[in-house]
Structure 1
């Protein structure tokens, strides 16, 4: 078989197939393979008349690729990736590149790179964000792994990536090892927090202000023209405007209030705990999904557990403005936590992550693309060693303008018994980070009391232990 294809794709599900079409539209000849015959047939039909080839086996796929071979694996993370690698390994030569574009744990990517050492096969773990439409029209891509692979895949990946407003491709090298997949994990952690804060804004409008989805939609549309401008705020306006054709009711009101998750938000929270990084808003967004999943328990508890008594109505127009500022402040805190998590991993693994570049890559194509990412890019371009996004002059100024409204929104929600865990944790994070002194002194005394764990003093160096009952 002649070697005519520029790249091969293993896994022709929604993402794999759309990435293949994206690649073909940018002038690359693509070969695709999937274990499922129905997916191979679908790929053949969608690529009819195009520079694309459907292989009947991995061996056939590899055989039609130009040297050095470039393969993109788009199968479910975990055992499926290992199985594909095991089958590919005897078919590949030194210098060939394998890219894993799934939502893979970064530790698995690092393990696979180590497993391939000595073979000459170059391995890349690349985060892909943007969903089905992004895959087809331009995703944000976060590749990392064996640095020798970057010159071989850069022209391909940057060609199909989304473009920011300044024309820059939303694809750059993240670093060695599992850096690319780690950056994608943090992206998804921020995404969880971002989505949860938007949902809480929606919930406050409904529960405290009595607003209908149809009334909320133009509010979110207006917000999308200002500092809150983002993909998620924009689609929220569209969702709230959508009416169910059968019932004539807002479709959002007919959707069961139990959220699912694929695990990346949980991974981000777990890694934050492992690295000792404070990321409560990301974690609370994950917990908000887990509590939503116990629907039957919540319905039963509603008849047992008491809430606050009826309070005076909240004035709509003024409170909507406060929710806007609360959402902006919480969003900034979520991004700050995400970049702190990136910095913590960078210290641990010595990847030399390019923080300004990461923000630049997220400006278009991905789910968390937002106007404020350009400000984040500027902040890290100006100060690569910035300790926390909150202390950047621009963001400190925005928080100064918004923090009081965040407080009032959280307080009002608490008094009315409306759960807003992401807003609450964002406020607690902000207040804890700006506190020159915290009650951890008492905590250390408690630890020393029951476990002789010692403590440090403010007036002299060293470690101390006290017999507290003497």
Structure 2
């Protein structure tokens, strides 16, 4: 028997009828997250008939019953520790129950006086054993020196707490329901979220001498809710501590790290185990990993998680994909920790096959890029109208009535933050970074032929911001030192912001729809919008509206209400964009929203010139408007 197996135990809760074995067993099972079995459920019918008729059971009557429970215990110990309640009144009975598993048994004996237990038993209804038989049980009761004795005069809660404390001291290996690997900011928050929902978890973080030591253990000791979690920096021990089929969530950096971790895990995994990648992985890599692990008989769930540190702790938006059967195995965990929408439904839904979950998360982040850029441009415009950060925050506060969102709320908080008498935002270097998802979204939109132009504009705006030194030099060469104030009203700017946000969300959802059609994913846009109404970075009042809009069409610009709204907003958007351009104010996303709609609503565009040019120099052919057969033509220009 190996060391891990020796720590896997069957916890027998023994005692006479009426002592509360079943109640305590159930409570222990819930507290320790272990399987529970009541020995009474395994009595043959003839035993139950005898007891119901007031006839005590003989040793012969009990023998087959005890053998059956012993087999149950041995079967359970193959997988995990378990709790079994059984009267086990004689040492000979306990010997049968312990047969071939002597080193893997812990006894808990609930003790009390005859009068005390008789009174309790007499009050119980529908119990098959009459109280009169209690004396026969006390007559044959043989106390066990090995058993942990707990007096039933304590409350059930006190009894359970005492038993758990004593079992912990014995280092019993109680397997976890779920494992999480990678204790960065998001990983730690998800662990606490899982523990707060009552799940018994194992946590792993690598050991790097002098850099990352005892991370999981120190983290556990810091938070009370993690008291029954299991911390590891040994990968083998971590994997073996989890119930099969194992459910292990990776919260590590996207890229090569994911592949390294998967290959490190594989030697320790078993057929049917499930790996969940909760990082921002590229959807193409997720598809490759899905196929690779499928060949190893391991399930892979690519899962987008949005919400940041706070969302991961209190409830994120979760976007899982892969085999539906495998998702159903992890569904209780993911749905439990997810944010809840206005109808108290979890902001977690099965997205689709392969890498669709990570694709949807990528587009989520792309929409996020554009939403952030729009607010940055609004800030820049209001600054150019002569407003300070507090005044701008006051204006944005008023916008919450019609344009509220998580990003708007945090922008207001950012603008109000002061340090040393000045606004902190004025001290932050104007170079915006990115972690890759906006980049991937821009590549994907080009590959799909979906014009998600605002995501690309937001990404390129970040790239331009990084040329800080060049921008400072170019400012001296190309710009006039003008201090003129831009004449734009707050209401026109709000209308322009509304307008651009609708175009951004239209493009993002259109991109998801295009991917669904191209890859055969059959994605539900309304359901995707629903899980983005809470927990995630792009949650907003607009997203709540889109849940219903997207039930009838994949294009929100086909909705009559939105069409009329866009028409009413466009004059303000035209005015604001024109004023900014005339005043040399950079507004890449606001202007792109106008440019896109102008292009999208132009029935006859100038693209015929481009196609003619392509045919001229490359013989790429063209179609004709006076021939609806679809035939292609070439001209010798």
Q: TM (normalized to structure 2)?
A: 0.70
Summarize deviations over 1:280-331 as a string: whole Å, max 9, x none. 11000000000000100000001111459776x4446xx1111111111111
Change (3 A) 1:6 1:445: same
Bigger RCO (CA 8 Å, 6+ sep):
1
Alignment size in residue pairs: 458
- Which of 616, 622, 628 pairs up with 1:449? 616
The reply on whether 1:213 has 2:389 as its aligned counterpart is yes
**Whole-angstrom distance in 1 between the partners of 2:459 and 2:607:** 26
In structure 2, C-alpha distance between the alignment counterparts of 1:213 and 1:401, rounded to whole Å:
29
Q: Residue 62 of structure 1: which of 239, 245, 252 is its match? A: 239
C-alpha distance in 1 between matches for 2:317 and 2:473: 43
Which residue number corresponds to residue 241 of structure 1?
A: 416
Match of 1:98 among 269, 275, 285: 275
CA distance in 2, matches of 1:452, 1:341: 30
Moved beyond 4 Å, runs of 4+: 307-311, 313-316
Pairwise CA RMSD: 1.5
Q: Deviations over 1:182-220 (max 9, x none)?
A: 00000000000000001101100001x110001011111
- The equivalent position to 1:422 in structure 2, one of 577, 589, 592, is 589
2:443 alignment partner in structure 1: 270
1:327 aligns to what? 497
2:361 counterpart residue number: 184
Change (3 A) 1:418 1:315: closer
2-structure distance, mates of 1:46, 1:261: 32
Q: Contact 2:304–2:361 (CA<8 Å) still a contact in 1?
A: yes
User: After alignment, is 296-305 or 400-409 more displaced?
Assistant: 400-409
Query: In the alignment, is residue 173 of structure 1 matched against residue 346 of structure 2?
Result: no
Partner Cα separation in structure 1 for residue 620 and residue 480 of structure 2 = 40
Instruction: In structure 2, list runs of 5 or more residues that go unmatched.
Output: 5-172, 207-211
SS of corresponding position for 2:391: helix
User: 1:397, CA displacement in angstroms?
Assistant: 2.0
Task: Please say if residues 318 and 348 of structure 2, whose CA atoms lie closer than 8 Å, have aligned partners that are also in contact.
Answer: yes
Q: What whole-Å deviation, never above 9, does each CA across 1:333-353 have from its counterpart, x for those lacking one?
A: 111111111011111211111
- Tell me, in whole angstroms, the C-alpha distance in 2 between the residues paired with 1:251 and 1:441: 51
- Alpha-carbon distance in 2 for matches of 1:306, 1:251: 27
The aligned counterpart of 1:361 is: 531
Q: CA contact under 8 A between 1:308 and 1:415: conserved in structure 2?
A: no
Q: Deviations over 1:162-184 (max 9, x none)?
A: 01112111000000000100000
| Partner in structure 2 of residue 34 of structure 1 | 205
Contact 1:308 1:417 in 2 (8 A): no
CA distance, structure 2, for counterparts of residue 174 and residue 26 of structure 1: 23
Report the CA distance between 1:457 and its aligned residue: 0.7
Alpha carbons 1:163, 1:170 under 8 Å: kept: yes
Measured in 1, the distance between the counterparts of 2:215 and 2:494 equals: 44
Which position in structure 2 is the counterpart of 1:6? Answer: 177
Structure 1 distance, partners of 2:256, 2:247, is: 21
- 1:116 equivalenced with 2:283 (yes/no): no
Q: Following the alignment from structure 1 to structure 2, what is the Cα–Cα distance between the partners of residues 141 and 395?
A: 28
How far apart in 1 are the matches of 2:262 and 2:601?
A: 48
Counterpart secondary structure, 1:224: helix
Q: Which region of structure 1 is more displaced relative to structure 2, 389-398 or 26-35?
A: 389-398
Q: CA 1:69/1:3 → structure 2, altered by over 3 Å: closer, same or farther?
A: farther
Match of 1:301 in 2: 474
Q: CA deviation at 1:132?
A: 0.4
Look up the match of 2:574.
Answer: 407
Residue aligning to 2:634: 465
1:224 matched to 2:395? The reply is no
Residues of 2 paired with 1:315 and 1:40: CA distance?
A: 56
**Corresponding residue for 2:320?**
143
In 2, are the aligned partners of 1:13 and 1:39 still within 8 Å (CA)? no
